């Protein structure tokens, strides 16, 4: 394997391994060879440099999933800048908050006019590159669009160090302020190298990119694929909502390796009419982000017998830290383990005082690995809580309660805080509750995760007084929340109660609220709100 040291060299590596004319990437509509992919990224880099971007600047990538979104990521890296992936489906306020926090100086986007002005209002963004639209001159600045990109020379490699920052991966914080995980070229490339080795990815593979750019699973297809010259299918946002369209695309493109949250796999298997499609090219299905209900996992493995399956665990702060392989479908309802330490990851299970727990007892998982982030962007307060220095190593406190089974495999038990996962996305329930309390007429709120047996996990908001809601799915309240929260953090239902159950200290008792409204965990995977 080629020993490059920084992520901006990846597309050159792929051209060397796979050949400039070999297909590199498609989104089902556009197809680029490795040479074209590298050149498009290089021209985007040149456009950014001409827009005033300098090495180390933060640059937002705000595009729906496509070959252009992938090329833009590599363009930002080629410019020596720090890539900040943005959720193209997020409300303007959420995107704006990330750009502000990152101090971004430029953005690669499809937005224009008023939409662009709203996204960048109050930020330090001055450079705008629009690879899918023509250039536009606006007072005070100008965009570089597809018409000008065509004539640009690809940028040469930047001068960057492996320990320089490469990308910021944002997640919602408990106060509603987004927090950015700052990854270096070294942490990203180490992950890419280990992932390619672990899942034996080579230039004959075709990887399906399911996750959006702002979700850490996408680092697999963004970085591990070019490292070994494997081609990528970027599944468009629209197709992902239609399991039958997804199944057809996976079959038509002869995908060999898949990585997603369990929900997407389950939806394709149960609602994707997969009997109409040959999915036999799939050799490895990786899932992570949240537990796979064992019955649903067994159904998926029986439906796609060609694929072995791995349960991947790892907060985005450390990329990946454990893996559990399944070669046969689970035969009972026991939760699937998260497995054992991944290559190069050191793990510890500790109690509240930092001491190792007794064998078999749950403890907070601490991870130390070269795939770990440098820290949170401009948040030394968060670093102080989340990162410990011991034994000459940096340890990330995951906040996950994990127990070791007698066979050495680790199992997920719960959280030490109120963070929950909805289809793999982290949600701090306090942030959603704070947004509800900002709405006139709501005096108290509790946010719960409903985990029905069907696998359609969603958030449920319970508010008081009851008069604050209209019916079981209060569209107005949901709309107001959707204006500020990322869509995965927007509850699907709102239930009104005149009084919310409280604990002895006067806090809203989420567990009791859940019992009162019949919302909880029907799957027994211990991931319900606590």
Partner 1 sequence: MRSAWEMTEETTGPTGSLRPMSSVDHRAFSEELVAFIRAEVAIGDHPLEADTDLVLTGLVDSLGIVLVVEWIESRLDITIDPGDIVIEHFDMVASMVTYLRGRSDTSLD
Residues lying near partner 1 in the complex (CB under 8 A) are found at 64, 89-91, 237-245, 248, 267, 271-273, 276, 456, 458, 473, 475, 478-479, 482-483, 487, 490, 492
Q: Which is nearer to partner 1, 155 or 422 (CB)?
A: 422
Q: Which is nearer to partner 1, 92 or 350 (CB)?
A: 92
Q: Whole-angstrom Cα distance, residue 56 to residue 322?
A: 31
Q: Which is nearer to partner 1, 458 or 530 (CB)?
A: 458
In whole angstroms, the minimum distance from the beta carbon of 45 to partner 1 comes to 27
Q: Which is nearer to partner 1, 156 or 238 (CB)?
A: 238
Neighbours of 245 (CB within 10 A): 17
> Which residues, including other chains, have CB under 8 Å from residue 473's CB and lie 6 or more apart?
492, 493, 494
In whole angstroms, the minimum distance from the beta carbon of 300 to partner 1 comes to 16
In whole angstroms, the minimum distance from the beta carbon of 130 to partner 1 comes to 16
38's tokens: 């590298």
163's tokens: 């320990």
Q: Whole-angstrom Cα distance, residue 164 to residue 186?
A: 8
Rg (CA), the chain: 23
Q: Which is nearer to partner 1, 226 or 243 (CB)?
A: 243
In whole angstroms, the minimum distance from the beta carbon of 168 to partner 1 comes to 22
Q: Which is nearer to partner 1, 145 or 212 (CB)?
A: 212
In whole angstroms, the minimum distance from the beta carbon of 292 to partner 1 comes to 17
Q: Which is nearer to partner 1, 60 or 375 (CB)?
A: 60
In whole angstroms, the minimum distance from the beta carbon of 406 to partner 1 comes to 39
DSSP 281-332: T--EEEEESSPPPHHHHHHHHHH-TT-EEEEEE--TTTS--EEEEESS---S
> Which residues, including other chains, have CB under 8 Å from residue 399's CB and lie 6 or more apart?
315, 364, 415, 416, 417, 419
In whole angstroms, the minimum distance from the beta carbon of 395 to partner 1 comes to 37
The values of phi and psi at residue 177, to 5°, are -85, 125
Tell me which DSSP letter residue 346 carries: E
> Which residues, including other chains, have CB under 8 Å from residue 238's CB and lie 6 or more apart?
245
């Amino acid at each position: 394997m080629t020993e490059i040291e920084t992520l901006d060299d990846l597309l050159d590596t792929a051209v060397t391994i796979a050949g400039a004319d070999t297909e590199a990437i498609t989104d089902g509509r556009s197809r680029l060879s490795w040479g074209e992919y590298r050149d498009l990224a290089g021209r985007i880099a040149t456009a950014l440099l001409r827009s005033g971007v300098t090495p180390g600047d933060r640059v937002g990538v705000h595009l729906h999933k496509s070959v252009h979104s992938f090329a833009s990521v590599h363009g930002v890296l080629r410019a020596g800048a720090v890539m900040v992936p943005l959720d193209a489906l997020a409300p303007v306020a959420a995107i704006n908050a990330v750009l502000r926090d990152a101090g971004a100086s430029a953005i690669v986007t499809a937005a224009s006019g008023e939409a662009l002005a709203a996204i960048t209002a109050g930020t330090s963004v001055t450079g705008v590159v629009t690879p899918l639209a023509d250039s536009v001159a606006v007072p005070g600045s100008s965009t570089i669009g597809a018409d000008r990109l065509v004539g640009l020379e690809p940028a040469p490699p930047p001068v960057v160090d492996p320990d320089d920052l490469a990308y910021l991966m944002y997640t919602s914080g408990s106060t509603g302020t987004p927090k950015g995980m700052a990854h270096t070229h070294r942490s990203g490339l180490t992950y890419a190298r280990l992932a390619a080795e672990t899942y034996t990815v080579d230039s004959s593979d075709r990887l399906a990119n399911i996750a959006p750019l702002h979700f850490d699973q996408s680092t697999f297809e963004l970085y591990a694929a070019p490292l070994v010259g494997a081609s990528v299918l970027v599944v468009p946002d629209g197709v992902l909502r239609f399991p039958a369209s997804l199944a057809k695309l996976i079959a038509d493109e002869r995908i060999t390796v898949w990585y997603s949250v369990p929900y997407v796999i389950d939806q394709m298997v149960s609602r994707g009419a997969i009997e109409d499609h040959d999915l036999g090219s799939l050799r490895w299905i990786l899932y992570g982000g949240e537990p796979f209900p064992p019955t649903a996992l067994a159904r998926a493995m029986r439906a796609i017998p060609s694929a072995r399956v791995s349960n991947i665990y790892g907060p985005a702060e450390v990329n990946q830290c454990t893996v559990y392989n399944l070669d046969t479908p689970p035969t009972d309802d026991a939760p699937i383990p998260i497995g054992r330490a991944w290559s190069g990851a050191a793990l510890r299970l500790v109690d509240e005082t930092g001491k190792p727990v007794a064998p078999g007892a749950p403890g907070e998982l601490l991870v130390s690995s070269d795939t770990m982030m440098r820290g949170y962007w401009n948040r030394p307060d968060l670093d102080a809580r989340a990162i410990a220095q011991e034994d000459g190593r940096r340890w990330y406190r995951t906040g996950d309660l994990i127990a070791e089974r007698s066979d050495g495999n680790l199992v997920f038990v719960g959280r030490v805080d109120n963070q929950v996962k909805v289809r793999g996305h982290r949600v701090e329930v306090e942030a959603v509750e704070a947004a509800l309390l900002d709405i006139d007429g709501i005096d108290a709120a509790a946010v719960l995760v409903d985990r029905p047996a069907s696998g359609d996990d969603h958030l449920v908001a319970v508010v008081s007084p009851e008069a604050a809601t209209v019916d079981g799915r209060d569209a107005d309240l949901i709309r107001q929340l959707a204006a500020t929260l990322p869509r995965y953090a927007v509850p699907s239902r709102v239930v009104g109660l005149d009084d919310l159950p409280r604990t002895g200290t006067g806090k809203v008792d989420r567990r009791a609220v859940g019992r009162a409204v019949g919302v909880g965990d029907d799957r027994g995977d211990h991931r319900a709100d606590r």
